[in-house]
Structure 1
Amino acid sequence: MTPPEHVAAWEDVAPEREPEGFAWLPGPLVGKLLAVAALAIVLSAMLTVWVLSRAAGQEVMQRLVSQQNDEVELVARLLASKIEQSQKVLATVAEGITPELLESPASLEWLLQQGLPAVRFFDAIQVARKDGNLAINLRYGKLEKASGLDPGERDYLVRTLLDGKPLVSGLIGATPAEARVMFTMPLLRGEGRVIGAVAGVLRLQSQGLLPHSLALPARSDSQLVVFTRDGVILAHPNMERVLGQVADEPGLGEAYARWRRADDAPLAGRAQTTVQADHVVSLASVPMPQWVVARVSASQAVLAPMQGVQRRAWALAAAATALVALLALGAMLWIARPLILLRQRARALMDAEAAGAPASGSAGYDGPWPHSPGEVDDVVRVCTRLLEHRRLQQRGSEASARQLRAVLAHVPLGIVVSRDEQVEVVSQQAGRMLGYAPAQLQGRRLTDLLASPPGAVDVAQQVRARFAAHGSFDGELPLLRKDSSTLWVRAQGQLVEPGVPASGLVWSLEDFTAERAARQQQSWERAHDPLTQLLNRAEFELRLQMLLDARAARGPRGVPEEDGGVLLFMDLDHFTVVNDVAGHDAGDDVLRHLARLLESEVRHNGWAARVGGDEFAIVLPGSSLARGQAVAEQLRAAVQAWEPAYGGRSFTLGLSVGLVPLAPGAHGVAALLYAADMACYQAKRAGRNRIAVGSVQVPA
């Protein structure tokens, strides 16, 4: 077998000689891989610097996390001890209040003001009797009216009287100066009977609770914050942020939101740390009042010293990398020289193709190919063979294009191919029908060629709706001729590639103007069904009777028995589902589409009619029983494959067909239709969507 000319040309190319002094390199590909591996060893030093720098940064971060954990745990335990101390002091006050003192306001006032030193621990003291009435309201050492008690404080006293348990309130007060926390203790006597309740109030910023010195020493890169579970700030280095929302705190807001979404409160006495992009946040909870202690540190400020060391290390590594890069560049250029030549060869091929050079004999196609033992030689072999294969394909494509142009020039049918509603290919017949040269129609939009008859609906929208429902179009369209007159055509539109809308549409057009004009006549309307445009039942029976009479006049030898013709009686399965679910307009559209399907199948071989609501009949004169069965099966399969869609829902239909041969001697239309109807009924009883063959009794 003779190799293609370019393969032979390549085999005649003498291999390039290797430069002297490089003969020591091992084999073509292995030597190159060894060179690259040597460069990789040098570059691994850069990776080592990066790994060590990263490890050092992680070590610094771990130390910061450990330090913050210890700090927030210590502060949380300190606050817990303060809460516990406040409760113990209040318990001491409660032990000193006897039932007799509850009934003697003067004695109780003297006891709280002078007799119990523990009272001075609190900013305010309230004592309530069992009935909920306030016995005394002492605030900052001064007696105040019971009516001056805050409603929130009164609620905690009432809860303590009802539950008989000590409580620590939430935050009370709307400003930092008014913010306070209330501790309550039930007054118990006898067998645990509640005879009253005592409450001690501490200002939020008091020494006994959260003094401002708690956040000291202040650091620009770190802040200690105490807040409630609901996100209200209790302590902050910036006093203006007290009673603000923790969600507004940089770094802390994100950690708080994540914590609340997970509903994962830090464990009492233990810390949890979150490392974010810019902040390191440690959280620990104070159990009794459900407070949270947080330390927020800026990551960049903490790691700044380490980053200085890393910059110096990277500067040294960059110098070494630059040297390695220069060496690697020289080696890679030497290794890649055949590939560079191959790229230049490929560009020459593309330039020659862009300039319209012939596939053979041009400098671009026939120039020298690079040579390098190994992979490059294999690629060159593949390229030369692909070029030869492409030449053969181009020749075949040019031949196909010539044949297509001949078909479009001589086919007696109007053919239009469109993509995205834009005309791409037009036959001569289509141009003549519209009064244009084919070149004048190319590039125009299909919607510009549609005429709009007076009083008609939007034709383009109607076509799109047909495609959306059926995936194709088969019907009549008004087109606008060049002289502004209207041309009615019978149009059939199908996808170029079934199931691929982007492949475009192919349209076949037949001049339907004369037939449409005839249709407008009163005689046509009397003979046709107004919905489907098919023959109505009366006209169908009349034509069938005329056929039978003509056969009877010719005698028994007029038509062979096996080619006497067939009658098909069809019923659309599951049609009521479309009517019930999608509406009668959708049902009418289904009937019209089915009518076009039947009409296209029997247009030149017989006639079709609508004989009932969803019942149709077809006569195929001169067809054999086998031919009738083939037509019936083709129609049944087409209806089964067709899935119309309305309102976002698709429907599955079927076609039950009863088939009766037009046997010689059969003269009665009623008998034939009855036999075909019974055969159709038999197909439905057998499971629907199938064909049944019947017969008609012929008198002897």
Structure 2
Amino acid sequence: MPGALVLRLMLVAALAVALSGAVSAWLVARASGQEALSRMVSQQNDEVEVVARLLASKIEQSQKVLRTVAAGITPAVLDSPSSLEWLLQQGLPAVQFFDTMQVARSNGDLRLNLRGGRLEKASDLDPAERDALRRTLMDGKPLVSELIAGRTSEARVMFTMPLHRDDGTVLGVVAGGLRLQSQSLLPPSMALPAREDSKLIVFTRDGTILSHSDPARIMGKAQDEAGLAPVYTRWLEEAHPMAGRGVTQVQSDHIVSMAGMPLPQWIVARVSASQALLAPLRGAQRKAWWLAATSMALCVVLAVALMGWMARPLAQLRYKARHLLGAPSDEEPPDAMDWPRGIGSGGEVSELVRVFEALVVQRAEQQLRQDTLDGQFQAVLNSASVGIVISRAGALDVVSRAACMMLGYTPQELQGRPARCLYASDADYRQVGERVRSEVAAHGAFDGDICFMRKDGAPVWARVQGQGVRQGDIHGGTVWILEDITATREAQVQQSWERTHDALTQLLNRRAFDEKLGQLLAERFARAPVADLPAGEAPGDGVVLFLDLDHFTVVNDIAGHDAGDDVLRHVARLLASQVRQIGWAARLGGDEFAVVLPGFALARGQAVAEQLRVAVQAWEPAYHGRSFNLGVSIGLVVLDATLQDVPSVLYAADMACYDAKRAGRNRVETRHARDASVTSSGRMALGPV
């Protein structure tokens, strides 16, 4: 029997054949269904257009007949009641076309009212008919009235035609009425033959049904018709022109076609049940599906049989590999120790055997190296003085001993748990997550203070630095370095912190820097002076760096002051992290910073200054979709015997920074006190920004 891989390949082949057959059958069925539906839609659309044109032609024919009647009514006839009565009852055969006939003068005086060939009183005239006569006299144009309704058998439409004198003025009006169900307008036979799955409906613009396959629905409302109501409502909302062109909409259960007639403002609609229309097609499709399923089953059986026969050498190799690796086999063939027949030295199966043997050796060597690396990594974690955490997909993957002690947990309690367990609430966790994503988007890494919750519920503050295992990507795994700053945070809330630190960058402010540097100078001069050595070579004197950001105003002008403040905060964190163990940093004002490295000689101070310059240059902040290139000009001065007070030191460092600016920016320049005139009361000269 073939192995699991071959069985899966057989299954994939069977599924591929079945899927391809099913997709092909579905595409054919879908295409045929769409083609049939398209033909039905086109046929039904053409039908309502033809009916609309037929009805429009009837309306036009009725108007022509009425125009013929109007042509026979002269001013003299209109003035003679007897002549007018004879003309309309006997003299003009065209009058017999209409069910009712009225003639009125231009002053509104009704001269004649015929109904069914009999004279009736003027007072018997329907108000709607009188209104139609009045509108024609006022406009001087023929019109087709709205539906004049009574009982269904009495519902009628009135046609009017103005009578003109030779000079074109309106002499009077003649009107003819047709019953709705008359042969000249909407005969009952028009809706035949009746079908259960389809209805032909004629209705007015306001929704009154004029003709219907079900006579009981005449004079009803189109809004009550299943399937027609939503299409009719949308027709009105979209204000379709009554131009005779058909519009068809396919719904889930109905196909509705509509066409309008411009003059009487009527609408012809065909409403068909789509399921009933498509029933014959569905039956044919079901038969086709059964035939396709039978063909696919035969193809699947044939494909599986051929693959099983072709996979016999691979099955033999599987048993051989299991035997060589010492794995138990439930069914060992008699020739289990022989290679598959027909495989030469260059055969694929033989190559696989050699690969298997090489992989076994490599696996043993890799396991040994992995065990060694794991031991070394664990030793680094256990000996690190700061907390180290590696997270992946929101879970704590690796936690060092120092991090566990800081958070009050054991490694077993934290490893594998979600990072949410280290926060007091879901809101805190989400807020920190947003900060991390924002920092990484702007700076490529995270550096900030975060408040965690210990196992005992007490808060613990940590300085956290995060960097993705892959640069700029925190989703594939992140390395976090945690430094406990709870005591520092407590000091920050005290008044002394606000007095000595800059509120924006959290570095020492100018006042605190002057005091601390003054103390350093006092302690240095309290010691025995060093013999006259060249400047910068006196061991342990120290250096002072004056830093001025290059092109900082570009960030402020383009990205705004909030972005500028963010740049200052980031640069401050960068300086603090670089010199925390060897000196201190301060913000002197604006984009100017200072760094003091006590006990440093010139060469070592220059190396640190260059390191700071490279770090600032390597950072490319991004705000509002735009990246910015920053640099820093650094002036370096060595603390020697000629620099005895803070103003002298800062003046010399500032002049060195000015030299760096003049030399092209983004560089380190060194200046000795003896190179410039320095007095303890001198003022600092500001270099270019």
State the TM-score, normalized to the length of structure 1. 0.68
Of 596, 610, 613, 1:632 maps to 613
- 1:591 and 1:384, CA in 2 relative to 1: closer, same or farther beyond 3 A? same
Task: Give, in angstroms, the shift of residue 237 of structure 1.
Answer: 0.3
Task: Give, in angstroms, the shift of residue 634 of structure 1.
Answer: 1.1
1:642 matched to 2:621? The reply is yes
Task: Give, in angstroms, the shift of residue 427 of structure 1.
Answer: 0.6
1:412 aligned partner = 385
Whether the 8 Å CA contact 1:225–1:234 is kept in 2: the answer is: yes
Whether the 8 Å CA contact 2:231–2:256 is kept in 1: the answer is: no
2:685 aligned partner = none
Post-superposition CA distance 1:182-204 (Å, at most 9, x none): 43323222243344444434343
1:449 & 1:510 partners in 2: Cα distance? 15
Secondary structure of 1:225's match? strand
State the TM-score, normalized to the length of structure 2. 0.69
2:422 aligned partner = 449
Whether the 8 Å CA contact 1:72–1:295 is kept in 2: the answer is: yes
Secondary structure of 1:608's match? strand
1:219 aligned partner = 195
1:249 & 1:672 partners in 2: Cα distance? 94
Whether the 8 Å CA contact 2:387–2:400 is kept in 1: the answer is: yes
1:568 matched to 2:551? The reply is no
1:599 matched to 2:580? The reply is no
Secondary structure of 2:68's match? helix
Of 219, 222, 228, 1:245 maps to 222
Whether the 8 Å CA contact 2:635–2:660 is kept in 1: the answer is: no
Whether the 8 Å CA contact 1:570–1:657 is kept in 2: the answer is: yes
Amino acid at match of 2:199: Q
1:202 matched to 2:172? The reply is no
Task: Give, in angstroms, the shift of residue 603 of structure 1.
Answer: 1.4
Matches within 5 A, 1:222-371: 222-227=198-203, 233-242=209-218, 244-245=221-222, 249-250=226-227, 288-289=263-264, 291=266, 293=268, 295=270, 321=294, 325=297, 329=301, 332-337=304-309, 339=311, 361-363=326-328
Whether the 8 Å CA contact 2:49–2:244 is kept in 1: the answer is: no
Post-superposition CA distance 1:623-642 (Å, at most 9, x none): 4445413312312432xx23
- 1:338 and 1:538, CA in 2 relative to 1: closer, same or farther beyond 3 A? same
1:400 matched to 2:373? The reply is yes
1:86 matched to 2:62? The reply is yes
Task: Give, in angstroms, the shift of residue 662 of structure 1.
Answer: 0.2
Amino acid at match of 1:333: A
1:32 aligned partner = none
Task: Give, in angstroms, the shift of residue 88 of structure 1.
Answer: 1.5
2:298 & 2:439 partners in 1: Cα distance? 66
1:491 matched to 2:425? The reply is no
Amino acid at match of 2:581: H
1:178 & 1:678 partners in 2: Cα distance? 110
1:346 & 1:260 partners in 2: Cα distance? 72
Which moved further from structure 2: 372-381 or 600-609? 372-381
Q: CA RMSD in A?
A: 5.7
Post-superposition CA distance 1:355-390 (Å, at most 9, x none): xx9x95444899989778799849956984895566
1:166 aligned partner = 142
Secondary structure of 2:475's match? helix
- 1:156 and 1:306, CA in 2 relative to 1: closer, same or farther beyond 3 A? same
1:305 & 1:521 partners in 2: Cα distance? 87
Matches within 5 A, 1:145-160: 145=123, 149-150=127-128, 154=131, 158=135
Question: For structure 1, which runs of at least 5 residues remain unmatched after alignment?
Answer: 1-15, 17-35
Task: Give, in angstroms, the shift of residue 538 of structure 1.
Answer: 1.3
Secondary structure of 1:400's match? helix
- 1:189 and 1:589, CA in 2 relative to 1: closer, same or farther beyond 3 A? same
2:277 & 2:66 partners in 1: Cα distance? 43
1:666 & 1:292 partners in 2: Cα distance? 103
Amino acid at match of 1:658: S
- 1:334 and 1:446, CA in 2 relative to 1: closer, same or farther beyond 3 A? closer
Of 473, 477, 480, 1:500 maps to 473
Post-superposition CA distance 1:237-264 (Å, at most 9, x none): 0235545338955499779979997969
Of 424, 428, 433, 1:464 maps to 433
1:534 matched to 2:507? The reply is yes
Which moved further from structure 2: 392-401 or 185-194? 392-401
1:660 aligned partner = 635
Secondary structure of 1:210's match? coil
Secondary structure of 1:192's match? coil
1:609 aligned partner = 586
- 1:611 and 1:68, CA in 2 relative to 1: closer, same or farther beyond 3 A? closer
1:487 & 1:579 partners in 2: Cα distance? 35
- 1:475 and 1:272, CA in 2 relative to 1: closer, same or farther beyond 3 A? closer
Task: Give, in angstroms, the shift of residue 226 of structure 1.
Answer: 3.4
Task: Give, in angstroms, the shift of residue 406 of structure 1.
Answer: 2.5
Whether the 8 Å CA contact 1:136–1:143 is kept in 2: the answer is: no
- 1:481 and 1:86, CA in 2 relative to 1: closer, same or farther beyond 3 A? closer
Secondary structure of 1:569's match? strand
Whether the 8 Å CA contact 2:161–2:174 is kept in 1: the answer is: yes
Whether the 8 Å CA contact 1:656–1:680 is kept in 2: the answer is: no
Amino acid at match of 1:604: Q
Secondary structure of 2:470's match? coil
Of 400, 415, 418, 1:427 maps to 400
Secondary structure of 1:609's match? strand
1:6 aligned partner = none
2:58 & 2:627 partners in 1: Cα distance? 77
Amino acid at match of 2:438: A
Whether the 8 Å CA contact 1:657–1:679 is kept in 2: the answer is: no
1:19 aligned partner = none
2:171 & 2:366 partners in 1: Cα distance? 106
2:667 & 2:133 partners in 1: Cα distance? 86
1:241 & 1:685 partners in 2: Cα distance? 97
Whether the 8 Å CA contact 1:415–1:509 is kept in 2: the answer is: yes
1:302 & 1:332 partners in 2: Cα distance? 42
2:106 & 2:556 partners in 1: Cα distance? 78
- 1:327 and 1:634, CA in 2 relative to 1: closer, same or farther beyond 3 A? closer
Whether the 8 Å CA contact 1:227–1:246 is kept in 2: the answer is: no
Amino acid at match of 1:189: R
Secondary structure of 1:502's match? strand
Secondary structure of 2:65's match? helix
- 1:656 and 1:333, CA in 2 relative to 1: closer, same or farther beyond 3 A? closer
Whether the 8 Å CA contact 1:657–1:683 is kept in 2: the answer is: no
2:485 & 2:466 partners in 1: Cα distance? 16
2:686 aligned partner = none
Whether the 8 Å CA contact 1:221–1:301 is kept in 2: the answer is: yes
Task: Give, in angstroms, the shift of residue 501 of structure 1.
Answer: 3.8
Task: Give, in angstroms, the shift of residue 438 of structure 1.
Answer: 1.0
Task: Give, in angstroms, the shift of residue 144 of structure 1.
Answer: 4.9
Post-superposition CA distance 1:540-567 (Å, at most 9, x none): 1333445556667446538636996352
Matches within 5 A, 1:376-387: 377=349, 380=352, 384=356
Whether the 8 Å CA contact 2:613–2:666 is kept in 1: the answer is: no
